[in-house]
């Protein structure tokens, strides 16, 4: 069972994103997670999409329970890679359920650059469905790790 499960952590949900003063694209990340989950399901990888409603307080018990169930974790966020919410989630998993991880945590974030205006460049700067799918496959050892391709 564990081999085919991946945890996703989406940072914002449709109900709450209107409270943020950022763009509507924040809510898109959850939509991307759901789309990725549908693609992965067809390939025999079941996912739990966890829709965090807030980042402070952080729902550590839900994260903990999911990682202990699935033994894998992919975090998805639009923000910068360094010091982000994904990093905080990784730290909480190391503290609460490190021994349950069967694969390195995959952290999907926006690129570490100022957000470009051009639509084609913006697409390259924010997480896309295919990025999430690839990360989930890496977490299930069904794809080449990033380090091996570099």
Ligand X SMILES: *[C@@H]1O[C@H](CO)[C@@H](O)[C@H](O)[C@H]1NC(C)=O
Q: Is 58 in the site for ligand X (CB under 6 A)?
A: no
Nearer to ligand X, 94 or 113 (CB): 94
Q: Is 60 in the site for ligand X (CB under 6 A)?
A: yes
Tokens representing 92? 């909480």
Q: Is 88 in the site for ligand X (CB under 6 A)?
A: no
**Would you mind telling me the total number of residues written for the chain in this entry?**
150
Q: What binding mask, one character per residue, do residues 13-52 give for ligand X by CB under 6 A, x or -?
A: ----------------------------------------
Nearer to ligand X, 16 or 64 (CB): 64
Q: Which of 1, 19, 61, 147 binds ligand X (CB under 6 A)?
A: 61
Query: From the CB of residue 146, how many other CB atoms can be counted at a distance below 10 Å?
Result: 12
CA distance 83 to 76: 14
**Least distance to ligand X, CB of residue 130, Å:** 32
Q: Which helix (H) or strand (E) holds 5?
A: strand 5-10
**Least distance to ligand X, CB of residue 97, Å:** 6
Cα–Cα separations (whole angstroms), residue 97 to 118, 137, 138, 139 = 41, 21, 20, 16
């Amino acid at each position: 069972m564990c081999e085919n499960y991946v945890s996703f952590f989406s940072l914002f949900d449709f109900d709450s994103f209107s409270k943020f003063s950022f763009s509507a694209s924040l809510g898109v990340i959850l939509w991307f997670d759901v789309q990725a989950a549908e693609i992965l399901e067809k390939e025999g990888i079941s996912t739990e999409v966890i829709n965090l409603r807030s980042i402070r307080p952080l729902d550590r018990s839900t994260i903990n329970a999911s990682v202990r169930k699935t033994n894998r974790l992919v975090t998805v966020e639009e923000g910068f890679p360094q010091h982000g919410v994904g990093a905080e989630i990784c730290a909480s998993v190391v503290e609460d359920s490190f021994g349950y991880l069967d694969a390195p945590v995959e952290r999907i974030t926006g690129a570490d650059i100022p957000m470009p205006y051009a639509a084609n460049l913006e697409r390259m700067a924010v997480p896309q469905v295919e990025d999430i799918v690839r990360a989930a496959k890496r977490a299930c050892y069904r794809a080449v790790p990033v380090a091996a391709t570099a």
